[in-house]
Amino acid sequence: MNKPSRRIQTQQSQIPSVFFLDNDVFQQGQMIIPTPVFSIPSYVSEQIGGNPEIRIVASRFFDTIPYLPIISKKIFYELLNPLLPWRADAAFLCLCMKVVLWSPLAQHDDPQTTDYLAAKRYLSELESGGVFTMPMLQGRVILSMYEMGHGIYPAAYSSIAASSAHGCALRLSGQKDAKKTGKSLTWIEEEEQRRVWWAIVILERYVIVNGSS
């Protein structure tokens, strides 16, 4: 992995505005959503560690969080390829996976842990930098579930609302629309997108029902 810098590189969003304003024109122009390249800040890399530590976290996540099957193992481990540049959105997803593995102890029962606060801070920076990808959305959904499960309100309401908006913007609300991002998808990617969207729908309904009871 490349040595992380202390601050995230700030830059204007590279996502074409036409993607949001007129998706038909976006499709006709055969444009794609680029993946912005950012350095990973030290406060994030210190929490997730190197490739071996990340693989341990991933293994624990897939073994102990089977009720949220929104991440394809195949796609995730491809992100960890040491021959490829380490992506900022992948680092965010790894950090969120670590966050949700936390459980309260007698001496430490505050769910707003160092990992959680780092993930929230990093999410804000990625948003400002124009990162708009599936790994980022998956991390959002994981954070939303964590906040609901540990009673972190009103953050949970805001998180699931933002996840829903992010999913709609990525055209995940229907199988037909899911192909409007300018990239051909494998069946694994299509299935992953469906699962992410339905996780958002379920969590959103949970928030609505509990909020109105």
- What is the tens place of the pLDDT at every residue in 178-205? 445 556 789 999 999 999 999 999 999 9
| Between 140 and 13, residue with greater pLDDT | 140
The tokens describing 181, both together, are 């991002």
Q: What does the DSSP 8-state code read for residue 131? A: -
- Residue 83: the pLDDT is 85
Question: What does the angle CA 85 – CA 45 – CA 190 come to, to the nearest 5 degrees?
Answer: 55
* pLDDT score at 178: 44
More confidently predicted of 161 and 213: 161
**pTM (2 decimals)?**
0.82
User: 137: how many CB neighbours lie within 10 A of its CB?
Assistant: 24
CA angle at 54 for the pair 50 and 55, rounded to the nearest 5°: 120
